[in-house]
Amino acid sequence: MSVVFKNTPSPGTQKRIPLLAEPDLDRVFARRGEREIRVAEFLADVGTLAATLPEANHALNLCTQRYRFLVAFCAAAVANQTTLLPPSRAPKLLAEMVRAYPHHYALVDEDEAPPVARTLDVRAALRTTYCSPIAADASIAADQIVAIGFTSGSTGASKTNRKTWGGFCASSARNHLALGDLGGTANILATVPPQHMFGMELSVLLPLRSSMAIEDAQPLLPADVAATLAAMPAPRVLVTTPFHLRALVESGVMLPPLATIVTATAPLSVELAAAVEQRFATRVTELFGSTETCVIAQRRTALAAAWTLYEGVELHSQPDGTLVEAAYFSEPTVLQDIVELLPGRQFHLRGRSSDLLDIAGKRASLADLTRRLTAIEGVVDGVVFQLDAGENAACDRGVRRLAALVVAPTLNEAQILDALRASIDPVFLPRPLRRVAALPRNAAGKLPREALLAAL
């Protein structure tokens, strides 16, 4: 019996790209603890789920387990449906997505029901006896929009970004090259969710577009990360965030040998990168990208301050940011990031246009102020951000004040402000400054603006 995919266009002359770059049916595709899931089983799961998908244009993928997310994403793609990638499961955000994409359903793997009229439980679908695998050489049109990513909201309202299969594949090939020679079929462990674009690229697309295998677990605590890595065969690749890297170093936990660590989502300091490399005897590759562009550059932060562009990517400085072009982009994209272009396809990142401050004729950047805040002895974590009109009484008088949230168990707010006063101009002192038990980071380590304001 063969699977009849809903909404599949009739064959044409448009370019098509295989779902799997390495379709060997006996290849280990994923691991769940000691259990190995081979390509043949994965294709059978995709076919089983695809046969049960309802008629729709969009599939809201809320699966929490990475393997189920992968199966759901691929089943929707081969059925010519577009996957929606929410940056979080916040009810307000999901409700907005439901209104924006009315012809949709949600793919879930938990009992908690999302605010969606139609849902399909991936667990139930994969327990059915019907098992008709898709072909190992199944392909998708290069220009098919397979996903819509949403920015995290760390700088304001979330924005949509349409992703084609061809663009995803081109970006994934460059990510694979950035990891270097790993000495065999590598095994990936990711602490970031697959709905985030960094997690999507490194833990969903890489297993599809290379011979790498993905671990299904998503551990967060240092001890759990260490235990999961120890149960995986070498060579091991850890995909994580700077926030999690700091936690790993400070915990004192020991990790098994790692081929490489790949990180993104927030700035990584050279001090932390060097500490991670020394402690775990590995190299740390930091990736630079965005939901709008996917990854476009890399650097080994412990050794180099400059970023190296991916092949085929071009940057053009503009007054309000940077224009990014690539042959595999649907169109050029403008980022808020300010860069200094260097010879040899390299650049320095100088901050974001939205981060640059001009108060009383004096200039600074939010990134530098945050760096100075977190450099204070006794400060574990912190962030400085600017309040908009209506978010603070001072804004109503024409002055956009700065605010800060700080994790510093041994310091009080006055001591933190005194230490800051020694390194920054008084006009940039954040008021209010609030001590909190933890910053409201999401699963990708980002700080959505709404969460920051709520914490104040």
Task: Check which CATH number belongs to the domain holding 62 and give it.
Answer: 3.40.50.12780
What is the model's pLDDT at position 178? 94
For residues 324-342, average pLDDT:
92
Where does the pLDDT of residue 153 fall: very low under 50, low under 70, confident under 90, or very high at 90 and above?
A: low
Closest by CA position to 448, among listed 62, 149, 439, 246: 439
Domain with 291, as residue range(s), is 16-305
Query: Do 367 and 285 share a structural domain?
Result: no
How many Å apart are CA 96 and CA 200, to the nearest integer? 22
What is the model's pLDDT at position 446? 81
CB neighbourhood size of 21 (10 A):
17
Closest by CA position to 438, among listed 451, 420, 429: 451
Where does the pLDDT of residue 130 fall: very low under 50, low under 70, confident under 90, or very high at 90 and above?
A: low
Question: How much of the chain exceeds pLDDT 90, in percent?
Answer: 62
CB neighbourhood size of 127 (10 A):
9
Query: Do 365 and 289 share a structural domain?
Result: no
For residues 365-390, average pLDDT:
84
Where does the pLDDT of residue 210 fall: very low under 50, low under 70, confident under 90, or very high at 90 and above?
A: very high
What is the model's pLDDT at position 11? 44
For residues 350-355, average pLDDT:
74
For residues 20-45, average pLDDT:
94
Q: What CATH number does the domain containing 398 carry?
A: 3.30.300.30
H-helix or E-strand containing 199?
helix 197-200
Query: Do 279 and 160 share a structural domain?
Result: yes
The separation between CA 168 and the C-alpha centre of its own chain, rounded to angstroms, equals 14
pLDDT tens digits for 287-329? 999 999 999 999 999 999 999 999 999 999 988 889 999 999 9
pLDDT tens digits for 220-271? 999 999 999 999 999 999 999 998 999 999 999 999 999 999 999 888 999 9
Yes or no: say if 368 and 362 are a contact pair by the CB < 8 Å rule: no
How many Å apart are CA 272 and CA 281, to the nearest integer? 14
Yes or no: say if 87 and 61 are a contact pair by the CB < 8 Å rule: no
Yes or no: say if 225 and 232 are a contact pair by the CB < 8 Å rule: no
Q: Where are the alpha helices (DSSP H) in 206-350?
A: 206-209, 222-230, 242-251, 270-280
Is residue 7 scored above 50 in pLDDT? no
Query: Do 368 and 235 share a structural domain?
Result: no
How many Å apart are CA 247 and CA 208, to the nearest integer? 30
Query: Do 159 and 69 share a structural domain?
Result: yes
For residues 47-58, average pLDDT:
93
Q: Which two tokens stand for residue 411?
A: 């310091």
Residue 381: CB partners within 8 Å, gap ≥ 6?
A: 243, 374, 406, 407, 438, 439
Where does the pLDDT of residue 389 fall: very low under 50, low under 70, confident under 90, or very high at 90 and above?
A: low
Q: Where are the alpha helices (DSSP H) in 111-164?
A: 122-126
Residue with tokens 């926030």, as numbered in its chain: 243
What is the model's pLDDT at position 10? 40
Query: Do 388 and 242 share a structural domain?
Result: no
Inter-CA distances, 104 with 60, 160, 315, 436, Å: 7, 16, 36, 39
Of the listed ranges 2-16, 88-102, 440-454, the least confidently predicted one is 2-16
Is residue 391 scored above 90 in pLDDT? no
For residues 97-103, average pLDDT:
85
How many Å apart are CA 393 and CA 399, to the nearest integer? 9
Query: Do 91 and 226 share a structural domain?
Result: yes
Query: Do 99 and 244 share a structural domain?
Result: yes
Query: Do 222 and 147 share a structural domain?
Result: yes
Is residue 8 scored above 50 in pLDDT? no
Query: Do 383 and 293 share a structural domain?
Result: no
Residue 240 lies in a domain: yes
For residues 269-292, average pLDDT:
95
Where does the pLDDT of residue 64 fall: very low under 50, low under 70, confident under 90, or very high at 90 and above?
A: very high
Number of domains in the chain: 2
Q: Which two tokens stand for residue 23?
A: 């379709």
The separation between CA 118 and the C-alpha centre of its own chain, rounded to angstroms, equals 27
Strand 58-61 to 82-85 pairing:
parallel
What is the model's pLDDT at position 361? 62
Yes or no: say if 289 and 319 are a contact pair by the CB < 8 Å rule: no
Of the listed ranges 11-25, 61-75, 267-281, 350-364, the least confidently predicted one is 350-364
For residues 167-174, average pLDDT:
96
What is the model's pLDDT at position 158? 64
Last residue of a domain, one of 259, 277, 305: 305
Where does the pLDDT of residue 152 fall: very low under 50, low under 70, confident under 90, or very high at 90 and above?
A: low
For the chain, the average pLDDT equals 88
Where does the pLDDT of residue 396 fall: very low under 50, low under 70, confident under 90, or very high at 90 and above?
A: very low
| Conformational region of residue 150, where left means phi above 0, alpha means psi within -120 to 50, and beta covers everything else | beta
